[in-house]
Structures are given as C-alpha cells and as structure tokens.
Structure 1
Amino acid sequence: MSQSVILAADDFFAPLKATGIWKVIGDALVETLQMVAISGIATVLIGTVFGVLLWASSRGGILPKWLDVFVKVVLSWVIVNILRSIPYAILMLTLIPFTRILVGTSLGPMAASVSLTIGTVPFFARLVESALREVDRGKLDAASVMGSSRFQLVSKVALPEARPAMVAAITTTVVTLVGYSAMAGLIGGGGLGRLAYNYGYQRFELSIMLVVLVIMVVLVQLIQFLGDRLTRVVDHR
C-alpha cells in the first residue's frame, strides 16, 4: 500500500523534474508580473483622472457646467458604466482587433495589458470616486473660501486626505489584475494562466497546475500584505 502511494506521488511530481520546466515557470511568472505592472501603472494614472472627474461632477461638485455635463453623460454612463457591465472574458476577446492596431500584435504581455487596462480602469475610477467622497466636505469648503483653485482643491486637499483609501483601492485593483492576467494568458498573453492551461489542462500535468496556483496565491497575499502596510503608513488620522 505504502509502495503504491510512493509510486503515485513520484508520478504526480515527475513533470516538475523535467529539464527546463522551472525556467518555463520562471519565465511565465515574469510575463505575469509584466502584465500586472504595465496595466497597473496605466490603470492608476488613467483611473485616477477619471475618478477625480466623476467625483468633481457629483452633486455640489467643482467642475464648470459644460464639463460637468460631459463627464456625467460620456464618462460616467457611456465609458465607465458600460465597460463595467461587460465581463472581462468577453471584453478581452472583443478588443483583439483594437489591440492589434494599437501595439501591432495580439500576443504577449504588452498586448494583454491593453485589455487589462481597459477592463480595470472603470473599476478603479469608481473606487477613486468613492475614496474622494469620504473626504470631509468642511475641509474643501474652508480651502475654497481661502481662495484655492479647482486644481488646488483636488491636488492639495482631496487627494491627500483620501490617500489611505486610495492606497487600498490600488491594492484591490492590483489583486484583481493578477486574476485577470490569468484569463488574458489564455488568448495569447502568456504568463501563469497560459502555463496552467498548457500543462495542467491540455497535458494533465496537475503538479505544474498546483505550482501555478501556489505562486498565484503567494503573489496575491504579498500584494495584499504590502498594500495593507502602506495604507497604515500613509494614514495619519
């Protein structure tokens, strides 16, 4: 009985002893990190601008009338709400032609970053909007009375006051990107998702699938840990 268990264990872990397999796993991890890093930076930059505009166009906002209407109609309803309603698996397939036009290919981490960014910007923009809504309105009114411009209200009051919630929003978004990157890998993005599909699903080498799952769990936990620590550092309340 014990001998059969040992043989079964040897068969299970045999794929991990194949020549070059750990280099393949390492390369897949690097591709996943590239996708998450590129799309994460783009999402934070674009999503922050969108989130600020959404917040500034809310009731009692600080936008001029003409821009307020544009943000509410085009940005809020057409871009953010519609994109948030589309499942990411469908969105990334729909964006393949656009990705080819934008980066010249639909394969690789750079191409996958296009759909990852477009898919997560609306999500992050709403998180930024919610974070800014938590800022004490009295502080904004006081700064406005003292002559602060619209830009100063955002850059000197709203964003600094919302910093802990913003860091938490970034952490949540990056964790989401890790999960999305696995799906993006299935259509040519590479990374751990593609590795799990090729070896775990097509070849039934479940030990490699297990390694991929462990790496993904560790990666998410590390991101969450660093995000929580940074949130506490920037929270001076």
Structure 2
Amino acid sequence: MLVNSEQIIEALIQTIQMVGFSFIFSIIIGLPLGILLFVTRKGQIIENLPVFTVLNAVINVFRSVPFIILLVAIIPVTRLIVGTSIGTSAAIVPLVFYAGPYIARLVESSLLEVDKGVLEAADAMGATPFQTIFRFLLPEALSSLIVNFTIATIGLIGASAMAGTVGGGGIGDLAITFGYQRFDTTTMLITVAILIVLVQGLQSFGNILSKKIRRG
C-alpha cells in the first residue's frame, strides 16, 4: 500500500508538533542553564567554580550520548512523564533531554562572544548581576542567539526523524514504515524532500531575522 497525501500531511503536522513543543521546553531549560554556565565561569559576574564544574560536567554527559541511545535509555522516564513510550507526545521527552543541554551550550557560546566592554560598562553603571544579564548581555547576544537557536531547531528536526525508529510518529516514522520497511522509494524521496524544505526554510528565516536584529 502506497502512502497517501493525508498520511503525509498528518506526519508533517506531527513533526511540527514534536519540534515546536520540544524547542519551547528546551529553551525553558537550556536558556537559564546556558546563562548560569556563563556567569559562574572564572572571572565572570557571579564566579562560582563548583557550580560551573558540576553543571559543565552534567551537560557534557548528556551531549555525549547519541540521540538514538538516549531515546531508548530514558524510556522509563518518558513513561513516567507522559504515560507511554510510543507516539508524538512520548518523543518530545527525549527530544527535550537531547536539545536542552545542547541549547545551554549554544547560549553559553553566544554570551562568550559579547565584547568584554559591555560587561565593563554595566559594572561602571552599577548594574546588578540580574540587570547585567537581561539589560546588557542578552540584548547584545540576541543576534547570535537567534542563529544558534536556528541551528538547535534544525538539529531537533533531524532528531525527530530518528524518533520514528521507535514509533515516535512524524516524517521519520513515515519514512521508516513505508519508505524503508516496504521499499517505497517514492515515499522515501517525498519525506527527504519535506525535511530539506523545512531545514532550508528555517535556516533562511533565522539568517534574515539575525541580520535584521544586528542592523537594528
């Protein structure tokens, strides 16, 4: 049986849901972690080497585990949170565990690009650490953050496709169920084309938005 347009649309919607919700939750986790990584580094505004060392190690551990292994390894946690290990909602949990630490590292990288003069100016004006972060650091790093968030979103699209190997739904599940297991070359080409369009569209949007913010 060949795949039909309704199945393709449904799979696309599932992929958008997985990526969208995973990105939101990953930002909620990764943004504060990335900020904490930066401000607790040696010589930064809230230097705290024990906190930095522990947080840095934990993030490195999660980033060292390939997504396909993480997907299976945290099945008990996934079942505990959403009540099942199969389907679109279940795929969101490992996607957040995968992308959250990644985004934290990207946020740290963006903040490290901010000119030290910005921090010196904030200090000269008597800004508190909170004010330094939200009125100086983040606005200055916004263009870089947009680029890095775009990269993270594209990574989530690729990971969501891998979630199809365990029945996660979406384009990846369609590609495996029809394209691979049933040797349907047409479906495989369609799914690849959809993923390419999604990635290209997101990358272009991210680049345009970043340039507008930088010029502004």
User: TM range, normalised to the smaller chain?
Assistant: over 0.9
User: Among 118, 130, 151, which residue is 1:139 paired with?
Assistant: 118
In the other structure, the counterpart of 1:125 is 104
Deviation track 1:48-93 (CA, whole Å, cap 9, x = no partner) reads: 111101111112112264xx422322x111x201111111110110
- Identical-residue share of aligned pairs (%): 42
1:196-235 → structure 2 map (5 Å cutoff) = 196-235=175-214
Give the letter aligned to residue 194 of structure 2: I
1:20-35 → structure 2 map (5 Å cutoff) = 21-35=4-18
2:85 is paired with a residue of what secondary structure?
Answer: coil
Tell me whether 1:50 sits opposite 2:33 in the alignment: yes
Give the letter aligned to residue 48 of structure 1: L
Structure 1 residue 143, shift from structure 2 partner = 1.1
1:159-170 → structure 2 map (5 Å cutoff) = 159-170=138-149
Q: Is the 8 A contact 2:2 2:178 kept in 1?
A: no
Aligned pairs, how many?
A: 216
Q: Distance in 2 between matches of 1:228 and 1:31?
A: 25
Give the letter aligned to residue 219 of structure 1: L
2:24 is paired with a residue of what secondary structure?
Answer: helix
User: Among 50, 56, 74, which residue is 1:76 paired with?
Assistant: 56
Per the normalisation by structure 1, the TM-score is: 0.88
Shift >2 Å, 4+ stretches: none
Q: Is the 8 A contact 1:38 1:110 kept in 2?
A: no
In the other structure, the counterpart of 1:38 is 21
Q: Distance in 2 between matches of 1:218 and 1:182?
A: 14
Q: Is the 8 A contact 2:111 2:141 kept in 1?
A: yes
Q: Distance in 2 between matches of 1:188 and 1:199?
A: 13
Q: CA RMSD in A?
A: 1.4
Q: Distance in 2 between matches of 1:97 and 1:71?
A: 29
Give the letter aligned to residue 50 of structure 2: V
Q: Distance in 2 between matches of 1:188 and 1:72?
A: 37
